[in-house]
Chain A
Amino acid sequence: MNWSKYSAPQAFYPLAGRLIPWFSVMAVALMGVGLYMGFFVAPTDFQQGESYRIIFVHVPAAWMSMFLYVVMAIWAGVGMGLNARLSFMMAQAIAPTGAMFTFLALLTGAMWGKPTWGAWWVWDARLTSELILLFQYAGVMLLRTSIDDMRRADRSSAVFSLVGVVNVPIIYYSVQWWNTLHQGASVSMSTGSKMAATMLMAMLIMTVAFWLYSIAVILARVRCIVVERDSLLVWDEKPAVSQEVVEVR
């Protein structure tokens, strides 16, 4: 099977349309399972009591915010290297979802910080660098919309997102490199997990759910972008709307 044909937006459009329902259903199902496990199955924490349960949204959201930024930068880099339009469209489609997860991580973090640390917000390295990530997402989106020429908009926002990728390792390692109020990583490749098994399981299920949700939403958005950029040619499905418009005319 020749996969490279899907690099053409016209070919990718129907493929994305077929994939979206699968990812959406899986995402909703896993989110249900993950939240149920997180709120009803996972045990209470020995120091934080029930308030730790926000971890099941906070940590997956924070992971996704960093991961999506890297994916966006990779698409931007591929777009720059291959001059592929679909790559730029993917980068454009990822930014809002990444920004949403960054905001969610900051919001749930503030809600968690008040009962545990005693402060909604502190300017420590982890929190500040995550806030900068939110500004980076906003910057990428603003830069794109501020340039009318689509090719120039693609290239400038691609450079912006590639430069910004240095912040991702800073966010991730900030708790190791500097004294921060934010605690260290509970789950890492090198040291394994410092959580009870059910807690970890619920958190990982939520991560996969957020992952599938991101794919579904990004594919849906990329379809919109394809239609938008190629001036409203809907390829595969029968063009119900445009037909009607023609008939009315």
Chain B
Amino acid sequence: MKPRHKRFAFIGLGLLVLGVATVLILNAFQSNLVFFFTPTQVVSGEAPHGRSFRIGGMVEDGSLVRESDGLTVHFIVTDTAKRLPVTYKGILPDLFKEGKGAVAQGQLGVDGTFLASEVLAKHDENYMPPEVADALAKAKASGAQQSKSLVVPDGRKGSL
């Protein structure tokens, strides 16, 4: 081996070791890197108690109720397996809609209701003109009201 081959082999080996180390570290910190918890995780007690955390999921169709003061809203966040009622007082983002993804930050109340201090809308990765969206909606109108973007990516469901 010429010296330059040795150097390239050394660089390659270094990168490989580094890559493996990174994978191990990321696996170890898996739970800390999660931006939000799903309703299933909250119900099963995986979410932190007594401190603020985020929940994420789909806003259930027909669950959005606005109180007479015009600011306080109640809605249900679901991951299609479990449901979690949320109360929030404030202005919702424009893209917040029933049947779409949302992320809320706040604390779990004693009655099991999530008291949100901030609500963010999570939009999906689909971009199309409104006419196409209408056509798709009509085609699907026969039944399922599931959003295309469940907030939890498919690959992650099993390992959580």
Interface membership of A195, Cβ < 8 A = yes
A80-B11, A124-B35 known; A181 and B126 CB under 8 Å?
no
Give the distance to chain A from B32, nearest Cβ to Cβ, in Å. 10
Q: Do residues B126 and A194 form an inter-chain contact, with CB atoms below 8 A?
A: yes
Give the distance to chain B from A224, nearest Cβ to Cβ, in Å. 28
A118-B121, A119-B120, A183-B124 known; A44 and B149 CB under 8 Å?
no
A175-B153, A194-B127 known; A122 and B133 CB under 8 Å?
no
Interface membership of A20, Cβ < 8 A = no
Interface membership of A145, Cβ < 8 A = no
Q: Do residues B129 and A45 form an inter-chain contact, with CB atoms below 8 A?
A: yes
Q: Do residues A116 and B121 form an inter-chain contact, with CB atoms below 8 A?
A: yes
Contacts of A234 in B (CB 8 A): none
Q: Do residues B129 and A176 form an inter-chain contact, with CB atoms below 8 A?
A: no
Give the distance to chain B from A172, nearest Cβ to Cβ, in Å. 14
Q: Do residues A176 and B156 form an inter-chain contact, with CB atoms below 8 A?
A: yes
A116-B95, A162-B11, A178-B156 known; A45 and B35 CB under 8 Å?
no
Task: Give the number of residues in B that approach A within 8 Å (Cβ atoms).
Answer: 47
Interface membership of B38, Cβ < 8 A = yes
A77-B11, A186-B126 known; A179 and B151 CB under 8 Å?
yes
Q: Do residues A194 and B36 form an inter-chain contact, with CB atoms below 8 A?
A: no
Return the CB mask of A140-176 against B: 1 if under 8 Å, else 0.
0000000000000000000000110110001000011
State in angstroms the CA–CA spacing of A196 and B22 once bound together. Answer: 37
Q: Do residues B35 and A179 form an inter-chain contact, with CB atoms below 8 A?
A: yes
Question: Contact residue range for chain A?
Answer: 35 or more
Contacts of A82 in B (CB 8 A): 4
Give the distance to chain A from B118, nearest Cβ to Cβ, in Å. 8
Which one, A47-55, A99-107, A225-233, is touching chain B?
A47-55
Give the distance to chain B from A34, nearest Cβ to Cβ, in Å. 16
Interface membership of B103, Cβ < 8 A = yes
Contacts of A170 in B (CB 8 A): 22, 26
Which one, B13-21, B43-51, B58-66, B69-77, is touching chain A?
B13-21
Interface membership of B81, Cβ < 8 A = no
Q: Which of B95-139 contact A (CB under 8 A)?
A: 95-97, 100, 103, 118-130, 132-134
State in angstroms the CA–CA spacing of A6 and B132 once bound together. Answer: 52
A46-B133, A122-B120 known; A183 and B149 CB under 8 Å?
yes
Contacts of B37 in A (CB 8 A): 179
Q: Do residues A186 and B125 form an inter-chain contact, with CB atoms below 8 A?
A: yes
Q: Do residues B34 and A199 form an inter-chain contact, with CB atoms below 8 A?
A: no
Q: Do residues B120 and A118 form an inter-chain contact, with CB atoms below 8 A?
A: yes
Interface membership of A239, Cβ < 8 A = no
- B152: nearest chain-A partner, CB-CB: A179
Instruction: List 13 extra interface pairs beyond A45-B130, A125-B33, A196-B128, CB under 8 A.
Output: A43-B128, A47-B95, A48-B95, A118-B95, A119-B118, A125-B35, A162-B11, A162-B15, A176-B153, A178-B33, A178-B35, A179-B156, A181-B122
Which chain A residues have a beta carbon within 8 Å of chain B's beta carbons? 43-48, 52, 55, 77, 80-83, 115-119, 122-125, 162-163, 165-166, 170, 175-181, 183-186, 194-196, 199
